[in-house]
Amino acid sequence: MTASDMKSVAGRSLPRVLLAALIAVLSIGWSGGAASAQEDGDGGEGGDATESISGTLQTRDEEGERVFVEGVTFIVFDADGNEVGSAVSDAEGVWSVPLPSAGVYSVQLDEATLGEGLSLRNPDNNPLTAVEVQPNTNKATLFPLGERAASSSSTWKIAQLLVDGIKLGLIIAMCAIGLSLIFGTTGLTNFAHGESVTFGAMIAFMFHMVYGAAADFEFFGLFKLWSDGQLLGIPGTNSLIFAGIVAVILSGLSGWLFNEYVWKRLRNRGASLISALVVSIGLSIFFRYVFLFQFQGRSRFYRDYQIQSQVSFKYFAIAPKDIFIIFFSIAVLIGVGLALQKTRAGKAMRAVADNRDLAESSGIDVESVIKWVWISGSALAGLGGVLFGMTDSINWEMGFRLLLLMFAGVTLGGLGTAYGALLGSLIVGIFIQVITWPAWFPPDMKNVGALAALVLILLIRPQGLLGRRERIG
């Protein structure tokens, strides 16, 4: 075998090695998390149990200021309906019930102990059932009281909905930029892009869930991968920040693998866009049910930043994690915009999205550009999934639910343009929140309202807000 042949074989084997490494990381994380849960749940050598259920009970006065509720009784029951313990909220609304072990519990608020004029916002959720407590953790629960708005409810509520809409719109934009660039450079409408969002959120959950684990996980008996809930004993590797970084890296790697082994081969074989569209739909369904099989149908939550006291402003209140999400998303999106405008790779991406044939005739390596579009687009989708998981629950179809809003934002702003995806996603995020302001409009119908508005706008401007008119025929 000649040196060139050996180089060729090595070049072909490298993607297979990376693919095997990605599969190994997923298998190790899932099996390691399961083993840790089993050993801790059996009360083995994990030490003294420190499981508990707690919460902070608060409401708002007539001026919209936060007020803690004292003297309310909470009762915790196990899976068999036996009372485990009870607690009374203190002057700061805090209560906590220690548990005998990890497991599934239910929490009931004794409504008779609520003060005059106070009531549960969702009385059907009392008792709060299927509260899953992991080993050596404190499970925070939430019992919302009364109405969120005060006597000046109109001004307060519209401001609150506007802030929530901006936050959601920024997350949608981060996920949708990759979807728009993939369409612009390849013409593919990727229905599996929503699963990239779910993948990022679940990878972050997988690495973050080792926090507090008492069991160690051995990597093929050679060395311990997880030690005291940390990766190779490195401090800080059990935090959500580290888990988010890992999720972004693996999401970008997954985008490269799919382009290399699926979409590039379809392009080289001259597959039509309709065929590629069908393949993307099939991959979407396949991976959605892989997530369902691995993580079951329960909703999961990150342990960090789950329950936070809101910071009250004049017309709205927002949690510190949501403030971080808004400013961090703005910083990331500004960075993406600067990269597209100033860097050589960003200019090449815009050139290929604008006119692929002209870009290729100008000497631009189109396949290399498409590769980096898939890597960066998938990494942004994974990051968006982590941020979305911080504000909502993590479940097997979270990306699919967000995919409809991504399509709405991308189409509204203009297919194939990153800036159009940003503008359209912000409009969609704000619209689906503000549309629930009238009392007669049910909140469960807000996504339908966004899609209906999309149809009306496209009837007026089919190319989208930032799209260009094109001659057909």
pLDDT of residue 111: 84
**Omega into 127 within 30° of 0, i.e. cis?**
yes
Joined tokens for residue 178: 């990759």
The string of pLDDT tens digits covering residues 399-430 is 998 998 998 888 888 776 778 888 888 988 88
The string of pLDDT tens digits covering residues 49-59 is 578 999 888 88
pLDDT of residue 262: 92
pLDDT of residue 209: 66
- At 172, the amino acid letter reads I
pLDDT of residue 127: 86
Joined tokens for residue 132: 């899953």
pLDDT of residue 65: 62
| Residue ranges, CATH 2.60.40, the chain | 57-141
Beta bridge partners of 52: 98, 138
CATH architecture of the domain 153-460 equals Orthogonal Bundle (1.10)
Contact 69, 93 (CB under 8 A): yes
pLDDT of residue 62: 55
Low-confidence stretches of the chain (pLDDT < 50) are: 1-15, 17-48, 148-152, 211-223, 471-473
CATH architecture of the domain 57-141 equals Sandwich (2.60)
Sign of CA dihedral 261, 399, 380, 290: negative
* 305 Cβ neighbours under 8 A, 6+ residues apart: 240, 320, 321, 390
| Residue ranges, CATH 1.10.3470, the chain | 153-460
Nearest to 330 by CA among 338, 319, 320, 318: 338
pLDDT of residue 119: 80
* 162 Cβ neighbours under 8 A, 6+ residues apart: 316, 430, 433, 434
pLDDT of residue 26: 46
- Does residue 416 sit in helix, strand or coil? coil
Angle between helices 344-354 and 320-342 (to 10 degrees): 80
pLDDT of residue 325: 93
